[in-house]
Structure formats: structure tokens, C-alpha cells
Amino acid sequence: MPPLTPYQQLEQEFRRFAALRGAANMLRWDAAVMMPRDAADVRGDQLAALETECHGILVSPRVARLIERADANAQGLEDWQRANLREMRRERDRAIATPAVLIARLARASARAEARWVEARSANDYAILAPHLEEVMTLVRDRSGLVGAALGLEPYDALVDECSPGLRTTEIEPLFRSLARRLPALIQRAIHAQPAVPLVPAGRFSVSRQRQLAIEILRSLGFALEHGRFDASERPFTGGVRGDVRITARFDATDPLCGLFAVLHEAGHALYDQGLPVAWRGQPVGRDRGVAMQEGQSSLLERVIGRSAPFVAWLAPLLRRGYNVSGEHWESAALLQRLTRVHRGLIRVDADELTYLVHVMLRCALERRLLAGELRVADLPEAWNAEVEARLAIRPRDDRAGVLQDVHWAIGAFGYFPCSALGALLAAQLHEALRRALPTLDQDLEAGRFEDLVGWLRTEIYQHGAQLSFDELVRSATGRPLSATPWLRYVDSKYLG
Amino acid sequence: MPPLTPYQQLEQEFRRFAALRGAANMLRWDAAVMMPRDAADVRGDQLAALETECHGILVSPRVARLIERADANAQGLEDWQRANLREMRRERDRAIATPAVLIARLARASARAEARWVEARSANDYAILAPHLEEVMTLVRDRSGLVGAALGLEPYDALVDECSPGLRTTEIEPLFRSLARRLPALIQRAIHAQPAVPLVPAGRFSVSRQRQLAIEILRSLGFALEHGRFDASERPFTGGVRGDVRITARFDATDPLCGLFAVLHEAGHALYDQGLPVAWRGQPVGRDRGVAMQEGQSSLLERVIGRSAPFVAWLAPLLRRGYNVSGEHWESAALLQRLTRVHRGLIRVDADELTYLVHVMLRCALERRLLAGELRVADLPEAWNAEVEARLAIRPRDDRAGVLQDVHWAIGAFGYFPCSALGALLAAQLHEALRRALPTLDQDLEAGRFEDLVGWLRTEIYQHGAQLSFDELVRSATGRPLSATPWLRYVDSKYLG
């Protein structure tokens, strides 16, 4: 056997890195879904040790030397390998900018804060979370400063770039400003345009039946349960690793739609994860193209597809059969009205697609102020409530319906929200491209045939892994750079048409 | 802050080691309880990477240097620290004897074989398992040879010593020989002495109710569910880590006792794990004292305590209330008869305590022949059936009731069975000591008061971690070295009295 080239040795190092990071992902899933209450400290030690190992691989002199030597011989590499090398370098550069001790402390602090968030949320008591959030905040601030300095980015951009490589506040801000100008009137008009409140049938919908139905729909969409799981958890998320993708959801016995659409959201992520290129497994180029691309997938399934007339036409009889119900309320027209109802509400994950962007943008504003130290953790609940009131003219009745609704900040996930907003815009743009490529899309959805839809996404998005940049991938899939125009066209036709 | 001493630096290294090994333990639990069918390869990569890291720590020049320097200054250490250093050295010596590549291959092969074992067992098809067992076997043979050569042990002893440090075939064989001489007649006489077959009430016992009852009993025993879990799995086991101890069990809707007593068995392990000294967490000295000591705990709870008249007197009304049943069959006398019924059966985990030792000893004989290469994997089912027939005068109807019933060999766990036999003997010896120390033990059990029982075990066993050797710990807890005499006294009085 000839000796391995520097590039091949790098592949080996990153395979090891991926296995350890995968182990950490599984343990994070477990922490959210399975872990007993008082085990957070032990788990924190495990995650910290894994993070330290992963960090140690990235910053090792060996990897530095191999990257240098592989760079010098890059002309002999295939395109995807050169992209892999670029992603390796990106990951290494970030790691070098962050001291291992800071990573370990952040892993421990956020494991603790996540467990406390669950408690705080269930007790509706922000004070349970506050000191832990404070600790996470301080560590995130340190990290963003260090990474930003090393990569020549503003601290907040250092975090956004971590979520979605290449995205910058300077590109996001103009999109947000134009949306912020249009949204109040759009929401107002959409609320006026919609028919009188459709009556929601009262009743109880067995959680185990909801679960079965969700699994049935996941199967129809092509989610491979022999390579994944579906469980209940406090907050819906998709975790695990390629080859073992784990969806979680929360069901509400009084509402058969809320949990189901959360599942559709997660299915968007999970199909992306399961569709990533097998041949590049364990390599940086084999990963997804960041949070904004992921949110594009989830938003496409949950909102653009999931709340469309043809999809609901397929869904309605499933619901009627599943819950043994009938009547006008369970006809697709009434269901679609419920599912596309615009409403100034308090909870982001329950929001319609218009107010959703308001929710996300207010979080962006708050997290930037938190990071800059302009807003103290102690003052966050009041600032939250004030923002909600200013933007939506309603006020959270308590912190559970306010600042405690999302886990992101507790686990140190700053920079996620702007990517989530871009994902919403991307979903509309992907949908336009999909309709051009698949003239029978609507008939397929009505018939519950998702092969062509998911096949198109596999070819245009999933299979590219991280080979192209976000911008390149958007252009190659949709023919143009990301803009707000398709989304505005889409909501105009859907809500005001 | 003064610089850390070599010993303190070793503690740091082993804390990291424990965190990574703990991560692997959690992922093994997940593999058995949660993992989707086709994720075994991905999981194998994760476990292999973790094993490699752990191995890397143990064989690192840094640890070697620190052990040497700590040894040179051992006079300044406390007793437990000196014991910790001894355990560190033991672990390091074993690791140095085993090449990392072999460990990684074994981790991968046994992850695959475990998944195939589940399939093979459910399909009753040994051929599904055979090639994977063959692979595991070859790797285990290599490993036992290398470790044995390095430590001056026979290959089989190298594996036994790994399960229970310090135990040797030369000590176990005489115990086995004397038991083998006594057992056939004992079994024969016990079968004759017992009353006519007690009628087993037919019926279905809801698995979820069985689960609830098991949890109730676990709580009564003092198992801390905020530091552990209880789940269903294909084979009962206790996994996880100190601080997050995970019990699993399998329930049978036609038999409310089988699963329950498996839970009592696991509770013996789990209470030991939860009772290990908190102050030594993450250090080798803070671990349990090996498999034979563990099996002593599980055997004590499942058999000696669990199938005693006073415990059953407490249990019977719980069962009657739990399943809403009544009548003579559910009185404690009838239950005790069922629970102590001696019967030449095929399944080890369902065996009474007399035939249990026969089951274990036949596995010891087979695994020694497998390891020595005197028995081929292909010939194992026939050899198994022949051994069962020779020793118990019955023949397995199929491989599910034969060689496929235990997972141990598939996951490379050779050397476990002799330790399990010693555990059974130890349980009787512990029980004699317990009765001397706690004159009200029987009244406590009848009243469902387990604090003193578990308290005694905590003081005499759990809290010592791995500070004493197995032999020292047995002597300190019971006043004498391990022998078969208490067990023979115990079965004599219980089955022939």
C-alpha cells in the first residue's frame, strides 16, 4: 500500500473528529430526551471532554502541517476534495481562535443551563435560568470577541458565520429593513382579508395517536426510520448524526395540528440530514450547508408545502381517519384556513409565517444587544416584553409565553435567529424553482406523492453537502441569489390574493 | 496556585479518561435500547473513536512519566490515593499490552455483532450471528494472548482478571469442581423435596403495569430515578455511569414475575453503582470492584433476598393490588413456591439458583474451548446442545433457547461467566454476614424497609469502590475469604430444610 498523502491523512483525522463530534451529538440528544434530572453535571463533563478532544484535533500541529502540505498539492485533488480542504481550513481557523478551556467551560455551562431552562420553563420562573444564562452569555461574549478578532469579523458576525458560513450582518440588515417596512401593513391586511375566525373543534386527541400519524407522515415523506428515531421531548429538534437522525416533537392533546407541523418542520431538517452524500460521510464537505440552508428546508416543508392547498387536501382525510372525526371543520378548506390564519401571538413556534419573521427579528435585535453588553440578562424579560409589545401590540402574560419559550440562548446558540429568517425567505425561493422544475407538484402533493419533491431537493441541495458556498448553492438551485422578492410574491398571493 | 503534583496531574488525566469512557457507556446503552436498526456502523465508528482516545490516554508517554514520578513520591499520598495509583497502573499495563488498532476493530466488530445478535435471536437463526461472532472471537483471542503474555497470565485468565481483578482459574476451578460434584444430587433432591407443581394462574399482565410496579419497587429499594432511568430492552442490563445509572428490563405479558426479578437483579447492580463513593468519581479507585462483586450484589437481591419468605410476604400484596388479583395462588406461600421452584430448564436468566450454576459452568467450559481454538464457532450450537443435554438431561428445542439466549460472546464478553458463578456464592456469604449484623433483617424485609440492608451494603461494599482487592473486600465485609460453604448451607436450608 502506498503511504497516505497529506490530504488522505487529513481525511483520516477528520473522520475521527466526526466520530467524536457525532458521539457528542448523540449525548446532546439524550440530554434533551432521555437524561434523568440530576445527571446534567456528569453529562457536562462528558460533553466537555469530547469538545476538548475535537478541539485538540483541529488545533494540533499535525493537522496544521497536513493542511499546509495538502494546500501545496491541491492541484492533484478533485473538486469536492478541494472543497473539503477549504472546509477543514475554515473549521481549523475557528478552533485556533478559541482556547480549549473556553470551549470546555461553555460546554459545561450550557449543559447546566439547558437543564435549568427545562425547569424554569415548566415552573414559569426566569430566576431559575438567569444565573446560568448569565454564565453562558459571558462565555459566548468572550468567544465571539476572540473568533471575530482572529477572522476579521464583528463579534456578532463571528457567531452568524458559525451558523451559516459566509453570511454577514451587512447582507442581512438590508433584507430585514425592507421586511420590517413591509410587514406591519402586510400583517394588518392579511388579518383583514381572512374570513371570520373559523371555529376550532374542541376535543382531545390522543398523544399516542398523534404520534402514530406523525410517523405515518414521516414515512410518506421518505424519512428512513431504520436510520433514525422519532421521540417526544420538551422542545422539538432534530439531532443525532447522518445515519442515525433523531427527530423529536411535543404533542398537545387539545390540538392535533401544532405537534404535527412541528414534525413537518423537523422532517425538513431530517430529510436534508439523511440525504447528505454518503460518500463524504465523516468529512466536513459532507455536512449540510449551515443553518440558513437547513431552515430553508424546514420552512419549505412546514410552511410553504405543509400549509398549501394541495398538501392539506391530502392531509385532511388522514386526520379524519386518524382521529375518527368528520364534519366541515375537518374538510381541507377549513383546515387550510386554520393553518394559514394570521394572528399576532406570543409564541414563535406557533406563529404564522408573517408574524414569524417579526418574532425572529425581535430576537435578532435582543441578542445583538445582549452580546454587545447593552442589555443585561437581568433586564431581558422586561426588554423582551417591551419588544413584543412594540412590534406586535401584545404583551406576554408571563415569561413562559415570553423569554422562556426558546432554549437557544441558554445553550449558547446566538446567531441562529437571523439564519432562521433567511431560511423563511429561501423556502419561498426554493418553492418557485420547484414549481418550475416539477409542473405536477401540486397534483403530487394532493396524492401524497413526495418522491419528486424530495428527489429534486436531494439533487439540488442535499447531495451537494458543503461543497458550494451558501450563495453558490442558492444560485445553482434557484438560478438567482437569495432575495426577499419571492417571499413577498408568495405571501402576497397566499394571504392577499 | 502551586503547580499540580504528578499524582494530581494523573487524577486530571483519569478524569478525562472517565468522561470519555462514560460517553462510550451511554452510547452503548443507547445502542441496546434506542438505536435504529441500521445505525450500528455509525455507532461502531463513534465507539471505536472513543475507545481509541481512551486507549491513547492510558498508553501516552505523559501518563507513563506521571505514574513513575507519582510512584516515587507515593509515601506522601493517602491510602485511597495509593490504591488509586495502583488501579491506574493496572489499567495502564493492560492498555499497553493491547494495540489500539485491535481495540478499535473489536469495538466495531462487537457493535455489529450485537445488532446482529438481536436479529438472530428474534429470527431464531444462528447463521445471522455466526460470521460476526467468528470475527469477534478472533479478535478476543488475539487480545487475550497479548494481554496474557504481557501480564504473565494464561489467555483465559487475562480475560477473567479483566472482569474481576485478581481472580484466577486456579482458584475458581476447585470451587467449580466441588460444586459440580454436589450439584446433580442437590438438584435431584430439591426437585423431589418440593411439593407438586403449583398451578400458575394464567392471564395477561399489562406490560405498562409491570413497569409501574417495577418502578415502585426500585423506589422502595432506594434507586434514585433523578440519577438514573428505567427502560425496556431486548436483554436486561444496567448501563450508564455513576450519576446516570440506567436499568433495562424485558417484560412478558404472560408472566408478572420474570421481568420483575430481572429488575431486582439489575437493581443489585444499580444500587452498587449509585452507591460508589462520590468523592472518588472519575477515578479508577471510585469504580466497583469488578464483575464477581457486582454479581454478588445482583444475586443477593434477585435470589437470596428476593426469593426469601419475608421479602415475598411484602411483595405478594403489592402484586395482588397491582394486578387486581386474589386467591391462594397470589398468597405469599404459593408465590414463594413458584419463585423457588427447582427445574431443569433451558434459559439461564430464568433458572432457579441451583441449575443456574450448571448453566454458568457449562458456559465457562465452552468459552474456554472457544478461546483455545478447540471449538469452532460453526460447531458451537451443537456443542452447546450437547453440554446442556449432558449436564441437565434436556435438549434445547432451537438456538433461541440455546446458544442465542445470551449476548455476552457476541459483544466479546468472555470471562464474565466464572465471575457470575462466584457472585452467586458471594451472595450467600454476604447474606450470612448481613443476618449477623442486622438481627431484624427479616422483619425489615416483610415490612418493605430496605434502608438498613442497603445501608449495610453501602458501608461494607459500595463505599469502598476499588480501594481493597476483591479478596480483601470479601474478608472485610464477611470476616472470611470466599468459599462455597455458605452457599451450600444456604441452599441446604432453603431447598432441603
- Average pLDDT of the residues in A434-445: 98
Q: How far apart are the C-alpha atoms of B198 and B131, rounded to whole Å?
A: 43
Q: How far apart are the C-alpha atoms of A367 and A495, rounded to whole Å?
A: 30
Q: Tell me the pTM.
A: 0.90
Which DSSP state fits B411?
T
Domain ranges of chain B: 6-125, 170-495
Tell me which residue in B42, B46, B228 faces A36 most closely, judged by beta carbons.
B228
Res A306: pLDDT: 98
- Strand B237-241 to strand B228-232: parallel, antiparallel, or no bridges (unpaired)? unpaired
> What pairs with residue B239 in β-bridges?
B246
The yes-or-no answer on residue A266 being catalytic is yes
Check if the beta carbon of residue B227 is closer than 8 Å to that of residue B244. yes
Check if the beta carbon of residue B289 is closer than 8 Å to that of residue B430. no
Which residues of chain B have a CB within 8 Å of the CB of A225? 36
Asked if A226's CB is within 8 angstroms of B49's CB, the reply is no
Asked if B19's CB is within 8 angstroms of A49's CB, the reply is yes
What CA–CA distances, in Å, run from B153 to A358, A495, B161, B335? 70, 78, 9, 46
**Residue B181, burial from CB neighbour count under 10 angstroms (0-12, 13-18, 19+):** exposed
DSSP string, B70-130: HHHTGGGS-HHHHHHHHHHHHHHHHHHHS-HHHHHHHHHHHHHHHHHHHHHHHHT-HHHHH
Which residue of chain A comes nearest to B12, CA vs CA? A49
Which residues of chain A have a CB within 8 Å of the CB of B228? 36
Q: How far apart are the C-alpha atoms of A216 and A22, rounded to whole Å?
A: 27
- Determine how many CB atoms are found less than 10 A away from the CB of residue A237: 19
What ipTM did this prediction achieve? Answer: 0.89
Q: Which grid coordinates belong to B27?
A: 452510547
Which residue of chain A comes nearest to B243, CA vs CA? A39
Which residues of chain A have a CB within 8 Å of the CB of B226? 36-38
* A401-437 residue pLDDT tens: 999 999 999 999 999 999 999 999 999 999 999 999 9
Res A234: pLDDT: 79
Check if the beta carbon of residue B470 is closer than 8 Å to that of residue B425. no
According to CATH, the topology of domain A170-495 is Neurolysin; domain 3 (1.10.1370)
Residue with cell 406557533: A350
Best A46, A52, A219 residue to mutate vs chain B (most B CBs within 10 Å)? A46
Find, among A34, A233, A51, A16, the residue nearest to B26 by Cα. A34
Instruction: Measure in Å the smallest separation between the Cα of B229 and chain A Cα atoms.
Output: 6
Best B12, B38, B46 residue to mutate vs chain A (most A CBs within 10 Å)? B46
Asked if B227's CB is within 8 angstroms of A20's CB, the reply is no
* A1-35 residue pLDDT tens: 789 999 999 999 999 999 999 999 999 999 999 99
Q: How far apart are the C-alpha atoms of A217 and A222, rounded to whole Å?
A: 9
Find, among A221, A238, A241, the residue nearest to A230 by Cα. A238
Q: Which residues contact A10 (CB under 8 A, 6 or more apart)?
A: A63, A66, A67, A70, A85, A88
Angle between the N-to-C axes of helices A126-151 and A100-123, in degrees from 0 to 180, rounded to the nearest 10: 150
Asked if A23's CB is within 8 angstroms of B50's CB, the reply is yes
Res B406: pLDDT: 93
Which residues of chain B have a CB within 8 Å of the CB of A228? 36, 39
Q: Which residues contact A496 (CB under 8 A, 6 or more apart)?
A: A186, A189, A190, A193
Task: Write down the catalytic residue from A114, A135, A266, A387.
Answer: A266
Res B198: pLDDT: 65
3-state secondary structure of A5: coil
Q: How far apart are the C-alpha atoms of A130 and A120, rounded to whole Å?
A: 9
Task: Write down the catalytic residue from B266, B295, B367, B432.
Answer: B266
Instruction: Measure in Å the smallest separation between the Cα of B23 and chain A Cα atoms.
Output: 6
Tell me which residue in B27, B229, B242 faces A34 most closely, judged by beta carbons.
B229
pLDDT averaged over chain A? 95
The answer to whether residue A305 scores a pLDDT higher than 70 is yes
Tell me which residue in B19, B49, B50 faces A45 most closely, judged by beta carbons.
B19
**Residue A439, burial from CB neighbour count under 10 angstroms (0-12, 13-18, 19+):** exposed
Instruction: Measure in Å the smallest separation between the Cα of A105 and chain B Cα atoms.
Output: 14
Res A198: pLDDT: 65
Residue with cell 445471522: B128
Which residue of chain A comes nearest to B241, CA vs CA? A42
Which residues of chain A have a CB within 8 Å of the CB of B19? 45-46, 48-50
Check if the beta carbon of residue A5 is closer than 8 Å to that of residue A70. yes
The answer to whether residue A376 scores a pLDDT higher than 70 is yes
Best B13, B42, B57, B241 residue to mutate vs chain A (most A CBs within 10 Å)? B42
Find, among A176, A358, A357, A359, the residue nearest to A168 by Cα. A176
Which residue of chain A comes nearest to B36, CA vs CA? A226
Would you give per-residue pLDDT tens digits along chain B (497 residues)? 789 999 999 999 999 999 999 999 999 999 999 999 999 889 989 998 998 899 999 999 999 999 999 999 999 999 999 999 999 999 999 999 998 889 889 988 998 999 899 999 999 999 999 999 999 999 999 999 999 999 999 999 999 999 999 999 999 999 999 899 999 999 999 999 998 876 677 789 999 999 999 999 999 999 999 999 999 887 899 999 999 999 999 999 999 999 999 999 999 999 999 999 999 999 999 999 999 999 999 999 999 999 999 999 999 999 999 999 999 999 999 999 999 999 999 999 889 999 999 999 999 999 999 999 999 999 999 999 999 999 999 999 999 999 999 999 999 999 999 999 999 999 999 999 999 999 999 999 999 999 999 999 999 999 999 999 999 999 999 999 999 999 999 999 999 97
Best B11, B28, B45 residue to mutate vs chain A (most A CBs within 10 Å)? B45
* A82-117 residue pLDDT tens: 999 999 999 999 999 998 889 889 988 998 999 899
Asked if B241's CB is within 8 angstroms of A19's CB, the reply is no
pLDDT band at A297 (very low <50, low <70, confident <90, very high): very high
Q: Which residues contact B273 (CB under 8 A, 6 or more apart)?
A: B238, B240, B242, B245, B288
